[in-house]
Chains A and B, each alone.
Chain A
Amino acid sequence: MSSYRVERWDRVSVAATAALCAVVVALAFVPLVIGANGVDKLTTLLVYLILAVMWNALAGYAGLVSVGQQAFFGLGAYFAIQLSNHGVGVYLSLLLASLLAGLVSVPTSLFVLRLRAGVFAIGTWVVAEAFHLLVNLDHSVGGVTGTSLTALNAFSAGDRRDYNYWATLGAAVVLLALTFSLLRSRTGASLPAIRDDEDAAASVGVRVLATRWVVYVFAAIGCGAAGALWLATSITFQPNSYFSVQWTAYMIFMVLVGGLGTFEGPIVGAIVFFLIQDRFGDQGVWYLVGLGGAAIFFALFLGRGVWGSVVDRFGLKLLPVGYRLRRDERT
């Protein structure tokens, strides 16, 4: 006779999670081991990782395809410049700027969260354009020409590089952990229900708007952090590049390639994107054509992405956010 039990963790996932924690600890010591170039590259990878995880939480779990996350990426950088210009310590400004980006998403959510699918997508884009134009009008940060985060000059180039790396690693770990616990919570369980059928979810008592709101604001904070950290590494702030829809294109690419709606997918996607950019980034236009083409291909033919396909084939869940049914063999 056989019975079934519901389980979240199995041996593989416990081992994988432990391994990930070990990797994080190892990553913290990286600047002591590898050279400047490597640290810079890892910082870039971690910013991509944050963006991918945030966009996946929105689109993959909450079904909110935002084409406007560059709004919060840009605002994160903008607030960081403003705070630091007003005398706030530079690394504290990065943190506060992320939270301010999240704060801005609160009134924004009133406009966009009631919109559906495609209308939501371009609605968020319009909001991003509006913020972009508003920042362009602010001559205290140089308007369209932009400015730089001069407060960072207080640190030597080497120190700055290491601090930026640790700040980005810290942000990535915290945001990843928060996403993990959010998705495992009651809110997280109701997200796919809303994504798959809003009315049905509402009919069994899921609070649709409130649940979406949590993810939307959380993703704004995360993208704000990514923007602020990107500013810290690149120093210069030009509204046109920070508020560019290209950032959303990157997020979409990473999540589609890695696996939309899987927890591990965006991590895989960020690594793939980073490697592709490292290898082909200097090809300019053809590289972008390739990214767009790959997005179409994955959306049409490999909807579950690289990681999703692995999960489907081997039933592998390294960082379990859902539950599954397992058959107990007892005789």
Chain B
Amino acid sequence: MIWLNQVVTGVLLGGYYALLASGLSLMFGVMRIINLAHGDLAILGAFFTFLVADRTGWSPFAALIVVLPAMAGIGWILQRTMFERSLRSGVLVPLLTTFGLAIVIENLLFEKYGADTRSLGPQIGNLAFDSWQITGQIFIGHLSALIFVVAVGVLGVLHLILRRTPVGRALRATAEDADTAELVGVNSRAVYAVAAGISVAIAGLAGVFLAMRSSYDPYSGPLQLIFAFEAVVIGGIGSLWGTLAGGIVLGVAQNIGAQLNPEWQILAGHVVFLAILGARLVLTAIGDRGGLAVVLGREA
């Protein structure tokens, strides 16, 4: 039963990873940028929420009313000042710029807030540790369930925006072919800025949830980026709902690893990620050679 509990908790943890990954995936899908500062932007959102909640005495959830638009604004500004320029110079420059940005954000946060590990847990009261007991050893944490539901909600809203709204149509058209989209009157600069805004706002939201369910410090970002990336790749690059599947696989893998040996938690996630990556490469290689039958020599 303890194993089943770990699987259930892992699935719920997958919701958090999906939230983290969806912003990364959106930006990659539309602009072909892998934003190496994505994790650090999430942590920035957590610090920002901490600051707002601390100054105003609001709950962290109320603080989101200020934080999410502000994060979207930061995404918009980053796109206009930095990403836009880097996009014009091929694939290397966006990587190098966002990596530089990551270092700047981490160290500015460290300069301002020091190395202390913080958590928003104490500020959300019982929500941080209450849970429903399903059966003997199976518990569902209220907060984990909330995060999962919010993640599915965010993915659903993103799905509707992309499929049903004019903005979504412009986003998909630009992702497909920015130049052709321009020809039919889409302003790709504005579209990119919208995508960056949404992406960074969702990253900030994910960061706040991380801060509620565990702890964070100025250098927590890179690991979150790696988790987000693993969820994106496991789920299939460019697929929105795939990030949920990828997040769940990652969450379950980590929890089962942790149950085997607490030291194996994160490693188990990496191993499953690499195994899936390896399996896909093998399948692609077989496909390139004309299918399994040909490779095994059973068919000419």
Contact = CB atoms under 8 A, between A and B. Distances in A.
Bound pair: A and B? yes
B99 A67 contact: yes
Interface of B: 28, 32-34, 36, 82, 85-86, 89, 91-97, 99-104, 106-108, 110-111, 222-223, 225-226, 229-230, 233, 237, 263-264, 266-267, 270-271, 273-274, 277-278, 281, 284
Centre residue among B85, B103, B229, B273 by max chain A CB count within 10 A: B103
Interface of A: 59, 63, 65, 67, 110-111, 114, 116-119, 121-123, 125-127, 129-130, 133-134, 136-137, 245, 249, 252, 256, 260, 285-286, 288-289, 291-296, 299-300, 303
A110 B100 contact: no
Given A119-B237, A260-B92, A295 B270 contact: no
B89 to A, nearest CB: 6
A111 B277 contact: yes
* Dominant SS among interface residues on chain A: helix
Given A111-B278, A133-B266, A289 B104 contact: yes
28 contacts: A63-B91, A65-B96, A67-B36, A114-B284, A117-B91, A117-B95, A118-B28, A118-B94, A119-B34, A119-B237, A122-B226, A123-B277, A125-B226, A126-B226, A126-B273, A133-B263, A136-B263, A245-B222, A249-B103, A252-B100, A285-B111, A289-B107, A292-B103, A293-B100, A295-B96, A296-B100, A299-B100, A303-B93
Given A260-B92, A288-B107, A300-B93, 9 more contacts: A118-B91, A126-B230, A127-B274, A130-B271, A137-B264, A252-B100, A289-B111, A293-B100, A299-B97
Contact of B93 (A116, A127, A299): A299
B82 A121 contact: no
* Dominant SS among interface residues on chain B: helix
Nearest to B88: A300
A295 B267 contact: no
A190 to B, nearest CB: 18
Nearest to A195: B92
Contacts of B233: 119, 123
Q: Which 8 A-B pairs have the closest CB atoms?
A: A118-B34, A292-B103, A295-B100, A296-B100, A292-B104, A299-B96, A117-B91, A130-B270
Nearest to B277: A111
A137 B270 CA distance: 15
